[in-house]
Amino acid sequence: MANLHSFLFIVHIVFGGAALVLFWIPVMTKKGQLNHVQFGRYYRTAMYTVAGSGALMAIMVLLWPMTVKAQFFTSDRDPQAVIERIQVLWGFLLYLSLLSFASTRHGMQTLNAKADRSVLRKRHYLAPLVVLMLGGILLAVLGYVHNRTLHLVFGILGTVISISTLRYCFKPTIKPGEWVIEHLGAMIGSGIGAYTAFLAFGGRVIFADLGAYQMVFWIAPGVVGGIAANIIAQKYARQMGLAQRPSIK
């Protein structure tokens, strides 16, 4: 079991690194060009692999903590306390995996569906979004009650993203070309998630001495990326004559 978890971790890191690079190729190429479309698909595959491997690792740890993370259970530690800490961390990581999957999938599906959003209203598409919303509410409440800033922030973020996405799926009509902005926002949001994970976990190792200031590695990508995403979205909205600025996923 531990060996399988280690293998999934390697897969997670390799494809995560690939996603960080692949993200920029569609961003730097014009919409509709081969490189933009092809590398967008490569990025999707990388992010699905990252989200899938992350979710499997989290589920394994949550189900079999004493087997997968045996190194944390020593004779001088309270096993129940260790299990509770593991549940807090890996439950959070499981939610982040779902958030990454949902953002990437929505970005690609809006591109495929364009103005015909009937596929976005099917049960198999809506189910993860509902789970993301309910999980986000629960995460935010737990973060508030137990004073866990990351749980609170990402719980609110996931809830907002899921509600915004569901609203787009069910709104009666969309303006011509609005799907382009929705696609753009979702994919940039997916990239923000990838860089947040990279900087947060990488920063935790490299800048361990910063203590609580490591929080900046979780927050900064979302702030900087959110500002950049809104600037880009406004630019495309003006070009396409869309009066209402869409939300960024």
CA dihedral 110, 57, 14, 85 (to 10 degrees): 100
Q: Does pLDDT of 218 surpass 90? A: no
Q: Does pLDDT of 238 surpass 90? A: no
Q: Does pLDDT of 244 surpass 60? A: no
List, in order, residues 6 or more apart from 82 with CB less than 8 Å away. 65, 72, 73
Q: Which of 128, 79, 96 is nearest to 16 (CA)?
A: 96
pLDDT band at 235 (very low <50, low <70, confident <90, very high): low
From CA 59, how far away is CA 208, in angstroms rounded? Answer: 27
Give residue for tokens 């990239």. 191
pLDDT digit string, tens, across residues 118-175: 999 999 999 999 999 999 999 999 999 999 888 898 899 899 999 999 999 999 988 8
pLDDT digit string, tens, across residues 43-73: 999 999 999 999 999 999 999 998 888 888 8
Q: Share the mean pLDDT of the chain.
A: 82
From CA 150, how far away is CA 135, in angstroms rounded? Answer: 14
In this predicted structure, what is the pLDDT of residue 144? 94
In this predicted structure, what is the pLDDT of residue 246? 43
Model's pTM, two decimal places? 0.82
More confident residue, 243 or 86: 86
